[in-house]
A = this chain, B = another copy of it.
Amino acid sequence: MNAKNAGPGRPRSREAYEAVMQAVDTLLRTRGYQRLTMEAIAKTAGVGKPTLYRWWPNVPSIMIEALLRQADDNIGLPDTGSLRTDLISYVSETCRILSGPVGEVVARLMAEAQFDAAFADTFRQKLIDSRRQALASLLRRGAERGEIPRDADHEWLADLIYGPIWYRLLNRHAALDDAFATRIADLLLLSARTPAV
């Protein structure tokens, strides 16, 4: 909620906030994405439009907040002692989540980011970079155990993992299944262990 309860004046209403979050869920489920307008959110939540605009500049910003709120119980970082097992577990879980309704929402958010530079910043920070850093944690742990070289290029390896995932998510030409997850994980290890690739 990003509350700043310090100053004077009436504090932000938690009821309104919760109602908005709930309205987003309801609308996405019942009306579909196209009907997820500021107008509809306001009406469904029983909230004034100015209240919406006071706290969020547009629909995607609300969506991203709703998404993160319910996915706060994020994909946990596995720690099995083996980098390969960790990777397979992590990528599989990522794929599993993205195969469901969350995947659709996330795909739309990426799409919105193409039209709105300001939103793109938020989107990348909250949904892209956070995941890249999670992956980097796994890789660091693996490197400490000597499973991949210490100087492996984590940025490159993240592209190598997330590139195909996003590509399939957005393009829907093939499923984000476990076989795919395993293959990507092994590709990462192959690349990390091969000098210069």
The chain A residues found within 8 Å of chain B, CB to CB, are 33-34, 107-108, 110-115, 120, 124, 128-129, 155-156, 159-160, 162-168, 170-174, 183, 186-187, 190-191, 194, 196-197
Contact = CB atoms under 8 A, between A and B. Distances in A.
B171 A167 contact: no
Most buried by B among A111, A120, A162, A194: A111
Copy tally for this chain in the complex stands at 4
Contacts of A129: 173
A132 to B, nearest CB: 8
Contacts of A165: 163
Given A110-B114, A164-B164, 7 more contacts: A128-B171, A129-B173, A163-B165, A170-B170, A187-B191, A190-B190, A190-B194
Nearest 10 A-B pairs (CB), nearest first? A163-B164, A163-B163, A111-B111, A163-B167, A111-B114, A159-B164, A186-B197, A166-B167, A107-B114, A108-B114
B170 A197 contact: no
A183 B164 contact: no
A51 to B, nearest CB: 14
A194 B188 CA distance: 13
A57 to B, nearest CB: 15
A63 to B, nearest CB: 13
A112 B120 CA distance: 16
